[in-house]
């Protein structure tokens, strides 16, 4: 986990996750031998599956695929806000003010958004 998350012993964004996955996320995680770790949501996007209200890869203490975690997990709490039409630090993260939102992170979020859009409906 990121230093901020560890410092606060927080796993909030791993609970009831709706993290969308790109083709490359799925390839990478499948390559580790995992199956049935995603589902298709209402808008045709593949997202991480939950088990007992936690991300299927989180055992309550650690993320089992931390080094291969999806791009969206790496970038969070940076997300694209449709109302602001901009990248922001998500209000859902209680410690968002402790994260830095750099230009590079914002650009990566925009790239992720494009990739997810291209992958939709696959």
> For the chain, how big is the Rg over CA atoms in Å?
14
Closest CA to 26 of 79, 75, 65: 65
Q: What is the nearest approach in angstroms of ligand SF4 to the Cβ of residue 58?
A: 10
Q: What is the nearest approach in angstroms of ligand SF4 to the Cβ of residue 95?
A: 4
Task: Compose the 51-90 pattern: x for residues touching ligand SF4 by CB under 6 A, - for all others.
Answer: -------------------------xx-------------
Q: What is the nearest approach in angstroms of ligand SF4 to the Cβ of residue 90?
A: 8
Q: Are strands 86-89 and 78-81 parallel, antiparallel or unpaired?
A: antiparallel
Which residues lie closer than 8 Å to 37 by C-beta, 6 or more apart? 29, 48, 49, 56, 57
Work out whether 16 is an interface residue with ligand SF4 (CB under 6 A). Answer: no
Work out whether 26 is an interface residue with ligand SF4 (CB under 6 A). Answer: no
Cβ atoms of residues 101 and 7 within 8 Å: no
Work out whether 113 is an interface residue with ligand SF4 (CB under 6 A). Answer: no
Q: Are strands 54-55 and 38-40 parallel, antiparallel or unpaired?
A: unpaired
Which stretch, 6-14, 30-38, 40-48, 102-110, contacts ligand SF4 (CB under 6 A)? Answer: 6-14
Residues in contact with ligand SF4 by the rule CB under 6 A: 2, 4-5, 8, 10-13, 76-77, 93, 95
């Amino acid at each position: 986990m990121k230093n901020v998350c560890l410092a606060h012993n927080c796993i909030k964004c791993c609970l009831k996750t709706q993290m969308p996955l790109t083709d490359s996320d799925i390839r990478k995680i499948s390559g580790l031998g995992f199956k049935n770790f995603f589902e298709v949501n209402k808008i045709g996007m593949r997202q991480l599956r939950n088990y007992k209200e936690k991300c299927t890869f989180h055992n309550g203490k650690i993320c089992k695929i931390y080094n291969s975690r999806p791009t969206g997990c790496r970038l969070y709490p940076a997300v694209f806000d449709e109302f602001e039409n901009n990248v922001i630090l998500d209000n859902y993260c209680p410690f968002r003010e402790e994260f830095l939102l750099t230009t590079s992170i914002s650009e990566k979020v925009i790239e992720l958004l494009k990739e997810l859009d291209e992958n939709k409906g696959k």
